[in-house]
Chains A and B, each alone.
Chain A
Amino acid sequence: MKTHEVNKSKRPAIIIDDSLEKFKGRNLFPEKLKKANEILAQAGVPDFNKLKK
């Protein structure tokens, strides 16, 4: 286990914990992901070019 260096206050202080890799790809919040995919299927992603300021 090693500590991830953090110099900027906007970032959290982080300890790298390889045991958390077990969660990767598990889709822990399936309802949220389903809703996200529904929104994206319906509206796509924001039109970044159109929305440029």
Chain B
Amino acid sequence: MNQPKYLCRSGKSFFVFKFTSKGSKGLVEKIVEYTETDFENIYNLGFGDYDQVTDSMNDLSITDNGDSSKVLATVASTVYTFTDEYPSAAILFTGSTPARTRLYRMAITINLAEISQDFVIFGFNSEQNWEHFIVDKSYSAFLVTKRENIYTL
């Protein structure tokens, strides 16, 4: 997404990204992690706050740092980097709460034209099936992969 993004740090394998949210509540460390699922080439995207003191993650905290658009744009941008490194990967993600899943759906909707230039995106619907993402329809999870993979996966 061509929006302001935070500078990220990443390990050389690009499975983990870290950046610092800067806002009204101060500095908050964020972690994005891509984890292998039980299915080949399908990765789960995890995202949350990192507590350096306890060396632990929290994907339920509400940071309220006034920079949610920039944070989401940064997380989304890591998908481009990850899939550059692992082009056959498909990435599954869902919100840690229904409200966050709705937030992701809205962000996808707003940026769908741009996302669709490079990726295909699917929603996991109430019938418990995957379908091409439809604007204004509720989903409990999303899956994204490079466009060329719909012919090879």
Contact = CB atoms under 8 A, between A and B. Distances in A.
Nearest to B143: A46
A39 B78 contact: no
A32 B7 contact: no
Contact of A51 (B9, B39, B150): B150
A24 B57 contact: no
Interface residues of B, number: 58
A16 B59 CA distance: 24
Interface residues of A, number: 42
Contact of A36 (B10, B16, B94, B118): B94
Contact of B130 (A12, A15, A37, A47): A47
B46 A51 contact: no
Interface in A20-45: 20-21, 23-29, 31-33, 35-37, 39-45
Contacts of A48: 149-151, 153
Nearest to B12: A16
Contacts of B33: 23, 26, 28-29
Given A33-B35, A48-B153, A43 B130 contact: yes
Contacts of A33: 35, 37, 44, 46
Contact of B59 (A13, A32, A46, A53): A32
Interface of B: 1-2, 5-13, 15-19, 31, 33, 35, 37-39, 42, 44-48, 57, 59, 74, 77-78, 80-81, 84, 90, 92-94, 96, 114, 118, 120, 122, 124, 128-132, 140-141, 143, 149-151, 153
